[in-house]
Amino acid sequence: MPHARVSAAASGHRFPRIALVGRQATPGIAAPLAELAAFLAARGHHVVVDASTAQYAPLPGYATAAPADFAPMVDLAVVLGGDGTMLALARQLAPFDVPLVGVNQGRLGFLTDIPLREMTATLAAMLDGRHVEQQRTMLKIAVERADERSDRGLALNDVVVNRGSIGSMIEIAVVIDGRFGYAMRADGIIVATPTGSTAYALSAGGPILAPELASLLLVPVAPHALTHRPIVIDDDASIAITVINGRDAGVHCDGQGHFALAAGDRVVVERAHCRARLLYPEGHDDFATLREKLHWTATPEELRQGGA
């Protein structure tokens, strides 16, 4: 199923209940969080502050709750932080169909792309209905072990099976829709969504996928044989990755959820039933974001001078 991009210019949605989540332990985040909470409250929204955020930046007068508690009851979540904060929250809120808006308090900011200096003006327009929505593919994993123990996880960017910090290369076998694909020795393998194609997969030599593509990306990480190359497959495929040999291996969801793996363990990666709902300002352009974040239009001289 293709990813939907829906204009809400005439929807009139007010998002009466809004969760506010900030990047934890970030210097200087308390002031913009307080400004954002006051702005939302003044518009008549009921504001709930993430409990972990409130520990680092207390906001007296506002209700606090953990994502597991506020997820079933809010209409929108606004993230003030970086992409890592957005990834963590997306995994928690996607099963509840809660849309997210990101204000960039981090560095690169592919997902949290609203500049801090334009926060309230941009949000005012979006909350009045002038926004676009992208529904992004998410991945689910099942870790199957010989002793019948199992683990489950979700990812928005990628699922990575790789060697540990003290181990050498791992040997893995990849099966796609029940058909043997290949075996290889490598530092690991990345299964990325189009959203994650601009993250670890890009650093490992993978291509950039447009967000609306119904595709997944398999990218080897430092393979022993240079003939192993990234491949793109349909996003309804089931990918099984078995650890044949490897010490201290593991599987990671968005670089944040971690499970240890041993020889014989199998990781099954599939498209999740839920999707991450990301809201962007009206007129959002994914290619403009790539040009800005990756400095595609900048000359080396501009980059050195900080002009891009």
Annotation marks residue 286 as catalytic: no
Name the residue among 141, 113, 111, 64 with its Cα closest to residue 276.
111
Scanning the structure block, which residue is given the tokens 């992004």? 136
Instruction: Return mean pLDDT, the chain.
Output: 90
pLDDT band for 13, please (50, 70, 90 cuts). low
In whole angstroms, give the CA distance from residue 100 to residue 82.
Answer: 13
Give per-residue pLDDT as tens, 235-253: 999 999 999 998 889 999 9
pLDDT above 80 (res 43): yes
Best CA proximity match to 174, nearest among 213, 223, 247? 223
Residue-range domain boundaries for the chain: 5-130+282-305, 138-273
Q: Which CATH class is domain 5-130+282-305?
A: alpha beta
Cα separation values, 135 from 195, 278, 279, Å? 10, 6, 9
State the pLDDT at residue 301.
Answer: 75
For the record, the structure tokens of 16 come out as 């009466």
Is there a shared CATH topology between the 5-130+282-305 domain and the 138-273 domain?
no
- Share in percent of the chain as helix, strand, coil (round to 5): 25, 40, 40
Measured between alpha carbons, how far is 81 from 78 in angstroms, rounded to an integer?
A: 10
Out of 50, 69, 75, 83, pick the active-site residue.
83
Kindly state which CATH superfamily the domain 138-273 is placed in. Answer: Probable inorganic polyphosphate/atp-NAD kinase; domain 2 (2.60.200.30)
Q: Which pLDDT value is given to residue 106?
A: 63
Record the tokens describing residue 256, joined without a space: 């944040």
Three-class DSSP category at 236: coil
Q: Are 212 and 194 in contact (CB under 8 A)?
A: yes
- pLDDT surpassing 80 at residue 257: yes
